[in-house]
Every structure is written in C-alpha cells, then in structure tokens.
Structure 1
C-alpha cells in the first residue's frame, strides 16, 4: 500500500505494519519517516535494532539470520535494510520474498534506499513486501507542496508566519528541506510559539542553502546559468571533493552523447533504459536541444583533460575549471577563452 510522505505520520497512528519500504532522493522526508518508524517501534516494544547494508560485501544470509535468530535482549526487534542501489539483485529478491512469507509478529522490517523506478516497484520482492506493509516514495518538493511542507513544520513548532513569509523561507532554502527545517528549528528558539513577520524572518535567517551534486546536474542540464554558478560556489564552500563533480559530469556527458546519437539516427529515446524518469526527462531534452554533437565532442576533450589534471596535478582553483566545464554544458561559447587553472591561477 502506498502512503504519501505527508500522510505517513497519520498512517503510523493506525498501528505498525510488518514491513515498510521507504525510497527516494529527498533526504529530509526520508529521514523523518524512518525516524518515525523507529520511534513508533520503540514505543511498541521493539527494543532491539539491527542495521544491514546490502553493499558488495553483503551476504543475504545475514538478513535470513537476523529474521530467524532469537534475541537475547528483547522479544521484538526492528531490522533495517539499506539498498544503496535501490535494487536487491536476483539473490536478494529471492531472500526478500522468503523473508516476507516468514515474518513473525515480533520482527519489523524496514527497507530503504534511493529513488526507484516503476521497474523496481513491479518486482516480485517489492510486491510481496508491499502486500503486507506500506511503501512511500520521497521526491523533492516544489511550489505549493513545498509551501505546505513548510507550513506543517511551522505549525508543529506553534509558529505563525504569513504566506509571504513562507515564500521567503522557501526562497532562502531553494527547495532544500534539510536547510528549511534547520531554519525553522532556529526560528522556534528565537521566537517560541510566536507570530513572526517578514522583517523578523530576514533578520533571523541566513542563506544556508545546501545543494548536492545531483541538484547541480539538473540545474546545469536545464540551462539555468546563474543558479548553476551559485550552486558551484555553495559546493566549494561546503568542501565538496572536485573529483566527485568531475565523475558526475563525465557520467552526464556519456548519457547525453548516447541520447544525441540516438536522436541523430532517428531512434526513439528509451528514457527508462538510461535510468531517466519522467520528472527529469525535461532537463535532458533542454540540454539535447542546445548541444550539438560537435559541442559534445569538445566537452569530451575538456573533461578528459580536466580528469587528468585533477588526478595528476595540484590545481590551485579547481572550481574555476569546474565552472568552465559546466558553462560548456550550458552552451556558453567559451572555446576561445583562455583559462588558467594551475599554480599561478
């Protein structure tokens, strides 16, 4: 059964299900739901908690052992299984189906991971677990949904803010729920259970937007030049490793190159085959409409050079080079502009 994140707390009040499936790439909603499950499980006597991560070193026998072993410390236990890729693989799928059929009333299973597509949701393991439990998918919030979420957080803290003030919070945090929650928590300490006007908000809030690499990629693909530069600046100030960004840019180039060749050959783009779901297809369509194969060939040369420089040399200001690369993806004509990125930059 699917339950939307904004209805999840209400769902838990009706009683615990044997299994919960929490997936998505919006960390604050995801963390909130997982924490609510932990709290509710503790209240219900699930005092033992086992955490498993299905990485390359993981043995699925660990999950079987965890569900079958008797606890020395508690009659009930919560088992948390993280799927880093969102998919358990063939062996994992079989084990999860076996676990679903044998879950006892003293074992609660929580499976979580990143964003998943319809292919995963149609998998047998997902269906059998969902049939005895609940699944919820967390997506970034925008517009009215974002404003509603901010309003819920303010109400929880007994804070009263006008619609204009809610828009101000959303603008400061640019859709980042973690940053928004931090600001609202801070406001609750400064103005406990009070009405807060826009001038007080502006005085109290600091622009502490937090951006991740994937958000940067989407903004870049969508052609938003000013926002892309701002996000790069933020990532630099947060100490993000430049090689992570180079890896992300190379990966996006490979995807764009494949999609562009398919377009040139008159083929129908199979978006899901490339792991591109409907909410991100517009970003790629925007990039493909402004970038030619010649543009992409030039970007490839620049990425190869940058990758070598970052791995073999010490670059004084790597984010200048990263900005240059992003500008090429944005279609800005920089071919003939010199760029110094070495020790004397």
Structure 2
C-alpha cells in the first residue's frame, strides 16, 4: 500500500501495519510521520524501541539474526532502520525482503530513507514492502503552498495568522519548514493564542540573527546605504560567516539580472516576478531596485561577487569582509540619489 503523509492519520485510526517505509527529503515532515506511527504503536503495546543506522560497515546478517531471535517472553518492540539512500545493496535488499515477508506480529519495522526515485520505486525490496506493508511518501511543500502550510500550522497553535504575515515568514525562511515551525513556536511562546500580523512577524524575525542577512539585502535593494552598512557591521560583529552574507547578496543580484533580462526581452514585469517566484511582499523592494540598475551594472556586480567568492574560498588573496563592503558600495552607488557611504572601520 502507498499513502501520502496527509492520509497517515486516517490509516492509523483503522489499523497498524507490521512494516512502514517513510521516504522523503523534508526532515520535519518525515520525523512527524515517524513520530505519529510510534505513538500509535506505543498505544498498541509496543514498549521497546531499537534503532539501526545503515552505514558502510553495517552488518545485515546481524540484523536478520536479531530479528529472528526474539524471546517468547520479550515485549513487543519497534525496530527503526535508517538508510541514507533507498539503495541497501543486494544483501540489504534480501534481508529486508526476508524480514518483511516473515511479518512478526510482535515487531514493528520502521524504515526511514530519502525520496524514492524511479529506480528505487521499482526495486524488488520496495515492491515487497508495498505488498506486505505501507509506503509513506513525504512530498515537500512547494513555494505556492508554503504560506498556506504556515497558516495551517499556526492555527494548530491557536495563532490566527494573516495572509501577509504568512507570506513574510515564508519568504524569510526560504522554504525551510523546520525554521518556519521554530518561528511559529517562538511566536506562540511570546504571544499565546491570538492574531499575528505582518508587523509582529517583522519584530520577531528582527530579533533573530539568522534573519539579519535578509535585512541586509532589503536595505541594499532599497538603496539605503546607512542601514546597509549598519546591518553589515552587525553581521560581522555577531560572527556571521562571509559566505552566508555573499550568498544572500548574490541571490538578489542574480534575481535582478534575470528580471532585467526578461524586461528587455519584452516580458511583463508581473509575469517575470511570478516565473521567478518573487514573494508578493518582496516585490516592491525588487521593483525599486530594478529602476536603479542597468543590465550591464548587474552583470558587473555578479562578476565582482564571483571574485569575492574565490577570496572567501582562499583561491584569491584579499580580505573577505573588505571585499563585501566594496561590493555593496558599488551596488549602492548605482543609486543616482546616493551621496555618501558610511565609512567602515576594520576591526
């Protein structure tokens, strides 16, 4: 049997299979599916839990022997098997087929692995689990559904989140479900149940150093030199790695270049924004920046960013932070109203 994660709760209310394979690349959703099965198993009398991590030296023969030697007086147990990829090799495939086909009522086998590609889905051991147990495919939350997922998650905590607030948080965490969940938990602890506006989310993420790189790029897009340099100084003081700062800057420069190229080719701005998945609350800043930059300037800045990347990696000589400052100064200098740059004091 194959299920998606949304069907799991209904399935567990009716039955508990002897083997489950949970496959997916989203750690939060995979762990929650695993936990839901574990809770149901504990309610059904499975008292003990074993965990095996399949690495290069894993001995499949020991696992099979352990599964066969369960004492008549032993309690029910959960055996959790974690695979880094759905390719256990010939011996692993044979072992899991033998365990699954034996179907011990006192043992619940939980297998956790990454997304199943076509080859893995058609493998013999996967087909065996599909026949005798349940395969749960955990799909990622795509960008369009992410704000809705955040609002639904917030509602479970008693938070009434506005559409603009959920879109803001979705943009800040860049598709990271675990980071979004952590921010929602923090909001709940700070506010309790109630309405969550865009202003509240802004205040919450502003107190988190993890989001300061976004404050930096927002200031850069706005052409605000004083705020840009103030945030950059704060990032350096907090010990943020230059590579993370460069990633954030480069991401925005590349986005602007794609949008500018689309505009020059005749594509409508809104269509290009949607095609490049620019969040609605981020669009005003992007539009403002597009008015300042020409395509040649953006190309030059991206080339400069590539040089800074090589300096950070030690491939070229130079001071990474000073080069980041110069890169931002050049980006800010594209603002025709720019009059001065706040001087930087190296420490």
Q: Is the structural similarity TM-score above 0.5?
A: yes
1:49 matched to which residue of 2? 49
Q: Residues 12-51 of structure 1 correspond to what in structure 2 (within 5 A)?
A: 12-51=12-51
Most deviating of 80-89 and 148-157: 148-157
Q: After the TM superposition, which residues 76-115 of structure 1 pair with which residues of structure 2 at under 5 Å, given as runs? A: 76-115=76-115
Q: Which residue pairs with 1:290 in the alignment?
A: none
Deviation at 1:120, TM superposition (A): 0.5
Task: Determine the C-alpha separation between the residues in 1 that align with 2:318 and 2:61.
Answer: 46
Judging changes above 3 Å, is the alpha-carbon distance between structure 1 residues 160 and 68 closer, same or farther for their aligned structure 2 residues? Answer: same
Q: Cα offset for 1:177?
A: 0.2
* Alignment gaps of 5+ in structure 1: 211-232, 243-301, 322-345
Counterparts of 1:74 and 1:315 in 2: how far apart (Å)?
65
Deviating beyond 6 angstroms after TM superposition, the runs of 4 or more aligned structure 1 residues are 236-242, 313-316
Asked whether the equivalents of residues 93 and 125 of structure 1 are also in contact (C-alpha less than 8 Å), the reply is yes
Seen in structure 2, the aligned counterparts of structure 1 residues 107 and 196 have a Cα distance that, compared at 3 Å, is same
Question: What's 1:153 paired with?
Answer: 153
**Displacement, 1:67?**
1.9
In the TM superposition, what is the alpha-carbon distance from 1:100 to its structure 2 partner?
1.0
How far residue 314 of structure 1 moved from its aligned partner, in angstroms, is 11
What does 1:256-335 align with in structure 2 at a 5 Å threshold? Answer: none
C-alpha spacing 1:144/1:9, structure 2 compared with 1 (3 Å)? farther
Which residue does 1:219 correspond to in 2? Answer: none
Residue number in structure 2 paired with 1:163 = 163
Distance 1:49 1:199, change over 3 A: same
Whether the 8 Å contact between 1:19 and 1:130 is mirrored in structure 2 is no
Q: Based on CA coordinates, which of the two structures has the bigger radius of gyration?
A: 2
What secondary structure does 2:108 align onto?
strand
Q: Is the 8 A contact 2:205 2:211 kept in 1?
A: no
How does the TM-score come out when normalised to structure 1?
A: 0.60
Contact 1:3/1:135 (CA < 8 Å) preserved in 2? yes
What is the CA distance between 1:317 and its match in structure 2? 5.2
Distance 1:12 1:152, change over 3 A: farther
Structure 1 residue 316 displacement after superposition:
7.3
Q: 1:41 to 1:101 in 2, by over 3 A?
A: same
Q: CA deviation at 1:154?
A: 1.0
Residues 2-48 of structure 1: CA deviation (Å, up to 9, x unaligned): 22223333332323211111122211111111122222222222111
Query: Counterparts of 1:193-272 in structure 2 under 5 Å?
Result: 193-206=193-206, 208=210
> Kindly tell me: are residues 137 and 110 of structure 1, through their superposed partners in 2, closer, same or farther at Cα, counting changes over 3 Å?
same
SS of the residue aligned with 1:70? coil
2:121 is matched with 121
Per-residue deviation, residues 155-191 of structure 1 (Å, max 9, x unmatched): 2111111222221221121110000000011111112
Q: How far, CA to CA, are the matches of 2:317 and 2:62 in structure 1?
A: 43
How many equivalent residue pairs?
241
* Aligned-residue offset at 1:205: 2.8
Change (3 A) 1:160 1:241: closer
Match of 1:134 in 2: 134
1:185 match: 185
Secondary structure (helix, strand or coil) at the match of 2:111 reads: strand
Tell me if structure 1 keeps the 8 A contact 2:25–2:140: yes
Q: 1:265-321: CA deviations, max 9, x gaps? A: xxxxxxxxxxxxxxxxxxxxxxxxxxxxxxxxxxxxx9xx99x968xx999759x89
Taking a change above 3 Å as real, the CA distance of residues 13 and 309 of structure 1, as seen in their structure-2 partners, is same
